[in-house]
Amino acid sequence: MCGIVGYVGHQQAGPILLEGLKRLEYRGYDSAGVALLDGAEDLLVLKKTGSPDRVGALMRQHENAAHTGISHTRWATHGEVTDRNAHPHCSSDGKFAIVHNGVIENYQAIRRFLEGQGYSFVSETDSEALANLIAYHFAKEPEQPGKNRFTESVRKSLLHVDGTYGLAVVCIDRPGEIVGARKGSPLCVGIGQGENMIASDVAAFLNYTRRVVYLDDGQVVTLSPQDYSITTVYDESVAPVERQVEWNIEEADLGAFAHYMEKEIFEQPKALENAMRGRFSDDCSTAKFGGLNVEPRELRQIDRVVFLGQGTAYLACMVAEYFVERYARIPVEVEYSSEFRYRNAPLDKNTLVFVISQSGETLDSLEAMREAMRKGYRTLAITNTVGSTIARENDGGIYQHCGPEISVAATKSFTSQLVLCAMVALFLGRMRDLSYAEGRAISQALRHLPGHVTQVLNLAEHIQKLAAKYAHFEDMIFLGRQDMYPIALEGALKLKEITYIHAEGYQAAEMKHGPIALINERCPSIFLVPRGESLPKMLSNVQEVRARKGPVILITNAPESEVANDAAEDIIRLPDGGHEVLDPVLFTVPVQLFAYYVALARGLPVDKPRNLAKSVTVE
């Protein structure tokens, strides 16, 4: 959610920090700030509600040659959105500045204790309590041979903290150092030449280095321009594992597109190709995955699969349920990650748990995965982020390889998740009773999917005209059956996220059980109507809505002979992919485009919708 960037090195820190914050804007923010520390024990803190550009304007009013600094974009949890509550926060003795992601659950008790020790507070945040706690331990901590007093004060403070944190701290007594730590909130170190960086996302420093160390929970790192060292909060030394970031910063640039969401929608053919590349057997009858770390014998013994996710990833899990039950004939349960670990669900010993998370850092999904592993269940993941916590901690998994997704609204990550879920179903099905011919039919259909998606993208101009026609409405309903139901939910979610229109997704047969009361001339309905056995029922539902003067947009891949041009006020005709396994992806793309163009028509900030964050790392 919030973004952290820290720099220590031979260059001027301010511009580097500001650039890093700009690259992390997609994570969501309501304020931003920097703390710059030069060699003269001068700590300059600048912070402001709004975008990092406002902090940049403040920086231009202050000449500062600091080579050490930390910065932050805030997504409010404790305290209102004000300049005072923005990060960085300073200790009341003026020695420390801190930027913090996460939630300190016992901050009130810490605050009461510190007020009794003479420390004062100016904000409503939990983070300021940690800044003063570090100052308290620093004042108590004597210099010890072989120990860094700054690091020790941070480490000892964290032993008293309940909750989650990703943090970076500077101290005026140690102007060439930054101390960082993580628990439940992502943090990584960028390793350069005569300079080092710390950030909540590698995108912040890819212009400077592609060498990275991902911190694990409970680790503390101390950075200087020439070196870095890692320990645990219990003072155990850690041997760091350096990794190379595979993607370039150019992949995160807009290019010729107006918004990242638009760019990422149109990148979907390539993203789907990358997700599938090298993952079909030589005879094209099944899928293959190199990182599952599960023997086929174990998989054949699986008699239940549980999929866990949040937000859009949860909707991918719902589609996976249809795929796995249809093609592999294995019972599937889908649960919100946030609910799974708080209920004592009776699961059979032969249960396989699959966690889906684009970022690999969604806290609810991470903790649900850990709960499943604690209980001894084989736990796999689908994630897009190499080096993420979920990717590192699970038993095995599948990388999406769809490249960086910057827009808050998930697009290419969702459709690549759908494809990988279809491939998992194919993989499990071929171990059971899915025939060779059926396996080849699914594989070949999936391999042609990117071309069909390109055809759907060619409908963008038509969809944009429809979006302009419907952009003034304040309520919309999305309707689908079977595996179109999760896509209806996804269409409603996208519309809510970026247009602020009240939208709901329903199973179409549920219309007569309540939602039909909402239908009137001011509430359009978007029907997802694939060819197949549900087509007549869906067309009947369309007529029920039209009879009550509800405007209808009908999205279908059925031929005109089955769905006439006058079946609805407006129709989006999709290519027939030739196999039902493709339908969830093909029907997703037009609802993405529709939401995008409605947001444009309403003049809204597409990539940075209000109140939302890309990666949700707090509960």
Q: Give catalytic residues, as residue numbers.
A: 2, 614
Interatomic CA distance for residues 249 and 258, integer angstroms: 18
Tokens of 296: 């086929």
Q: Is 282 exposed, middle or buried (0-12, 13-18, 19+ CB in 10 A)?
A: exposed
Cis? peptide before 175, omega within 30° of 0: no
3-state secondary structure of 21: helix
Query: Taking a C-beta distance cutoff of 8 angstroms, is the pair 508, 481 a contact?
Result: yes
Helix (H) or strand (E) holding 422: helix 412-430
**Residue 447 CA neighbour count, 13 Å, CB half:** 15
CA–chain centroid gap for 555, Å, is: 28
Q: Is 291 exposed, middle or buried (0-12, 13-18, 19+ CB in 10 A)?
A: middle
257, amino acid identity: F
Which ranges of 284-355 does DSSP label H, i.e. alpha helix? 296-300, 312-327, 337-340
DSSP state of 518: G
3-state secondary structure of 456: helix
- Residues 6 or more apart in contact with residue 7 via CB below 8 angstroms: 13, 16, 17, 20, 67, 68, 69, 178, 195, 196, 197
Query: Do strands 3-9 and 195-199 pair parallel, antiparallel, or not at all (unpaired)?
Result: antiparallel
Which ranges of 64-161 does DSSP label H, i.e. alpha helix? 107-116, 127-140, 149-158
Partners of 182 in beta bridges: 166, 219
Partners of 529 in beta bridges: 556
Interatomic CA distance for residues 554 and 232, integer angstroms: 57
Instruction: Report how far apart the first and last C-alpha atoms of the chain are (Å, whole number).
Output: 11
3-state secondary structure of 1: coil
DSSP state of 482: T
Residue with tokens 């992390």, as numbered in its chain: 24
299, amino acid identity: L
Interatomic CA distance for residues 616 and 619, integer angstroms: 8
